[in-house]
Structure 1
Amino acid sequence: MRRAEESQLKSPTHDQIVLLAPLTGPIVPLADVPDPVFSGGMFGDGIGIDPLAGKLVAPCAGIVSHLARTGHAVTITTPQGAEVLLHIGIDTVELNGQGFTARVEAGARVEAGDLLIEFDQDAVARSAHSLVSVIAIANSDAFDVIDRAQGFATAGETPLLTLRGKGDAAVQAAAAGAAAMNEVRRAVQLTQPGGLHARPAARA
């Protein structure tokens, strides 16, 4: 068993959300991420990974609620309403998309482990401040991080973060998440009445 999987992650209950690692590499505590905006929690609580492979996968099932035009960041909204921001590297927005290839579209429904973004590690590392990537809970007002892994993470396998909702705020977030999931279901039914697993086109 891998070291990160041997960390003291609690067994999830019905009111908890387990996020798998979206990247493979050493885990970096949020406070050690080399960007004060992230390390200070301005984008929410979370964790970092120093990636060893150029593939970002979905940490959970949900909807692609936002995809950066430059392809360096994506947000997944879970059915429970947690907004999971995945940001590859530091100051990578300045690369204007060079080295990044999105494999999903905004509005797509994804499952844990689905490929979201591919990136050229060498090209990004040469131009970006750092390759350390961040997984942050954008609506941390509604969800607490109650457990987080340490050591080494394997994309799509290692339980990285465990979340638990915060009372009324979590209820409201869950309602928003359910509405987003229902919107995608309606879009699929309208575009593919035969039941094919199509994904809606990107929104403007």
Structure 2
Amino acid sequence: MKVLTPVPGTVGPLSDAPDPVFAAEMVGSGVLIDPDRTPGVAVAPVSGKIAKVHPHAYAIATADGTGLLVHLGIDTVKLNGAGFEIVGPVKGEVVAGQEMIRWDPAEVAARGLSPAVLVCVLDTAPGSIVSDLLGQHVETGEPLFDVPEAAAQRGRRRS
């Protein structure tokens, strides 16, 4: 399964996240994007069903049940939605590349918070997601990484 880039920026390892839970990949394996410091819109990295939307984060379950989380910034929950605007659906289906949240990473940084964007495949083992794009700049909607079948199986929610 291909995962698209939700925001433009430079790709880094999730271990660089300035949050110990994400850095240890306890939520799931993935990558960090140091976003461009321009206002923009974060998009859905995959097609699927909206599992949860907050002003600073959203989770999507693919048709096969694999869950993906996009988290905009670190500790941005403390902003209580200030500086974020939900522009996509909050329930139902979403298509890869569909706009989800409007935000300004420079504004997040100006408030003393990290604007790092975390893209995690939920419930996957640390190190199971690898991107060939580490250190490279990516644009919104470009392929970010593939989810290996073994990781996808582990990341599928069990009913």
TM-score using structure 2 length: 0.86
Q: Percent identity?
A: 34
Q: 2:156 is matched with which residue: 173, 176, 190? A: 173
Deviation at 1:171, TM superposition (A): 8.5
Q: Which protein is richer in helix relative to its size? A: 1
Q: Structure 2 regions of 5+ residues with no counterpart?
A: none
Distance 1:148 1:108 in 2: 32
Aligned residue in 1 for 2:117:
133
CA distance in 2, matches of 1:122, 1:31: 22
| Cα contact 2:66–2:155 (8 A) shared by 1 | no
- Return the letter of the residue paired with 1:62: G
Change (3 A) 1:104 1:163: same
Name 1:78's counterpart in structure 2. 62
Aligned-pair Cα RMSD in Å: 2.3
Name stretches of at least 5 consecutive residues in structure 1 with no aligned partner.
1-16, 177-204
Shift of 1:22: 0.6
- Per the alignment, residue 186 of structure 1 pairs with none
Please give the per-residue CA displacement for 1:75-133, whole angstroms capped at 9, x wherever unaligned. Answer: 01111211100000111010110000011233231111110000133322212421111
Residue 155 (structure 1) aligned with residue 153 (structure 2): no
The answer on whether the counterparts of 2:51 and 2:91 sit within 8 Å (CA) in structure 1 is yes
Rg larger in 1 or in 2? 1
Aligned counterpart, 1:48: 32
Instruction: Name which of 23, 36, 39 aligns with 1:39.
Output: 23
Where 1:45 maps in the other structure, the secondary structure is strand
In terms of fraction of residues, the more strand-rich structure is 2
Q: Measure the CA separation in 1 of the matches of 2:141 and 2:11.
A: 14
What amino acid sits opposite 1:155 in the alignment? T
Looking at structure 2, the residues matched to 29 and 47 of structure 1 have their Cα atoms a distance apart, in angstroms, of 5
Question: Relative contact order: is structure 1 or structure 2 higher (C-alpha 8 Å, sep ≥ 6)?
Answer: 2
Query: What is the one-letter code of the residue matched to 1:114?
Result: Q
CA contact (8 A) 1:89 1:128 kept: no
Tell me the TM-score normalized by structure 1: 0.68
Aligned residues: 154
C-alpha separation between the residues in 2 aligned to 1:163 and 1:110? 19
Residues 1:146 and 1:26: Cα distance change in structure 2 (over 3 Å) = closer
Counterparts of 2:77 and 2:150, CA distance in 1: 32
Structural mapping, 1:103-142, within 5 Å: 103-140=87-124
1:20 aligns with 2:4: yes
1:173 is aligned with what amino acid? R
What are the superposed Cα offsets for residues 1-53 of structure 1, whole Å, 9 maximum, x if unpaired? xxxxxxxxxxxxxxxx1101111011121111121111111111010101114
